[in-house]
Amino acid sequence: MHRLAFGPRRCVIGRQLVAWNPYVSVAHKRQEGGQLSLLKVGTHYAMLLDEPGFGKFPIDLVHLRVDKPEDLDGIEVLWSQIFTAEMAHYSNKLKLIQSTGAGLELVQFDHVPNGCQVAIVHEHQWAIAEWVIMAMVSLNREVLKLDRDVREGRWEHHPINSFSPSGTELNSQTLGIVGFGHIGRQVSKYASALGMRVKVATRNPSSQAVASGYGAESVENLNRLPEFLSDCDHVLVTVALVDETESLIGQEELNAMPDNACLINVARGPVVNEKALYQALHGGHIAGAALDVWWQEPNKPGELPKSSKYDFGDFANVLMSPHASAMTKEVMQRRLQAAYANFDRIKLGEPVEGVV
């Protein structure tokens, strides 16, 4: 049985040991003849099976710490969210860069070697969809405020003191989903099951039949976004960050939202205009926000960037988390399985899944 000694946290999931430690780098090389070298550079996670046979060939690996780019020499498969020019200098045999997630903003594509594929893995849509439901319920029921009231000994909202409930149920509300990929579709299924009216706006509108299959009653193009937002109680942002989606949600879009609406962002921070959102919250133009992604985030160990130039923590109606909506044990397990399946495909000469 293999054991991984470097991680401060470990847990057993099923029949596998999963150990993780942010930003740890671990190289994996096959013992038999070195036919396939596997490398995990865990910018978020480094993981290890406790027994072989996850894929189509036995996984029997020697575990080596990777501390500098030259340790990549001879490696054929890289598991990482980061790829830099310095890493490329030692990656002449690299066949696959397997991202540990769906984000590729830290991969310098100009330096990816010729013939090397880059693949992403999702497997996070269920976890993020749960987080979104949690966020909508928390904002509807003012959970942060009520929690603080009890901690501070205030009882204004106890039934004996209040006959005017401020909470709202999801089943009376409309959810507008901006983006309809893996995450948007799963949220639509969950939200519609709770009785919400769901509608979708996306860059590449699916057919109405596809949208209906996920519980959405309509699907529209992003070019009518202000009109789309005008009757939403909650707006979920879940589009990829590309040139045309930067500041997609700006002053015009926020002003179009009802003043009782909340914005939820699980995409990337810059999809929402930073200043416009702060001003909308400060001026009471929207009722609240749930932010899991930020305009500045750490790119390497030890970094402590300020998440925004504005202090969103001043608002009692803003729920904040550090890009953690997908951080569940189950997501890690599924991503590990998907990554090892791609390692198998490289070994067997089969097409890799998730190539961008």
Span 293-312, average pLDDT: 93
Spatial contact of 24 and 17, defined as CB atoms under 8 Å apart = no
Strands 174-178 and 197-202: what pairing? parallel
Say yes or no: 61 and 92 in one domain.
yes
The Cα 133–Cα 149 span in angstroms is 23
The per-residue pLDDT for 41 is 41
Check whether 88 has a pLDDT greater than 70.
yes
The Cα 44–Cα 247 span in angstroms is 27
Query: Which CATH number belongs to the domain containing residue 290 in this structure?
Result: 3.40.50.720
Query: Which CATH number belongs to the domain containing residue 97 in this structure?
Result: 3.40.50
Say yes or no: 249 and 336 in one domain.
no
3 falls within a domain: no
The reply to whether the predicted model has a pTM over 0.85 is no
The Cα 344–Cα 110 span in angstroms is 26
Confidence band, pLDDT 50/70/90 cuts, at residue 313:
very high
HEC string of 266-294 equals: CCCHHHECHHHHHHHHHCCCCCEEEECCC
Distance of CA 18 to the CA centre of its chain: 20
The Cα 124–Cα 335 span in angstroms is 8
Helix axes 125-140, 143-151, angle to 10 degrees: 60
**What domain range is 30 assigned to?**
9-123+329-348
353 falls within a domain: no
Give me the catalytic one of 185, 234, 323, 335. Answer: 323
- Per-residue pLDDT tens digits for 151-186: 999 999 899 998 788 899 999 999 999 999 999 999
Say yes or no: 240 and 336 in one domain.
no
First-to-last C-alpha distance (Å) of the chain: 35
Spatial contact of 225 and 201, defined as CB atoms under 8 Å apart = yes
Q: 111 an active-site residue?
A: no
Q: 323 an active-site residue?
A: yes
What percent of the chain has a predicted confidence (pLDDT) above 70? 81
Check whether 293 has a pLDDT greater than 60.
yes
Mean pLDDT of the chain: 82
Span 225-246, average pLDDT: 96
Helix intervals (H) in the chain: 85-88, 125-140, 143-151, 182-193, 208-213, 225-229, 251-256, 274-282, 329-348
Check whether 44 has a pLDDT greater than 90.
no
Q: Which residues contact 309 (CB under 8 A, 6 or more apart)?
A: 274, 295
Say yes or no: 85 and 157 in one domain.
no
356 falls within a domain: no
Span 329-339, average pLDDT: 87
Q: 63 an active-site residue?
A: no
When divided into structural domains, the chain yields a total of: 2
Say yes or no: 216 and 315 in one domain.
yes
Confidence band, pLDDT 50/70/90 cuts, at residue 67:
low
22 falls within a domain: yes
The Cα 197–Cα 174 span in angstroms is 5
Say yes or no: 292 and 309 in one domain.
yes
The per-residue pLDDT for 77 is 83
The Cα 203–Cα 21 span in angstroms is 36
Give me the catalytic one of 268, 274, 285, 335. Answer: 268
Strands 16-20 and 9-13: what pairing? antiparallel
Confidence band, pLDDT 50/70/90 cuts, at residue 35:
very low
Check whether 265 has a pLDDT greater than 80.
yes
4 falls within a domain: no
Give me the catalytic one of 63, 297, 334, 345. Answer: 297
Can you count the helices (H) and strands (E) in the chain?
A: 9, 15
Check whether 117 has a pLDDT greater than 60.
yes
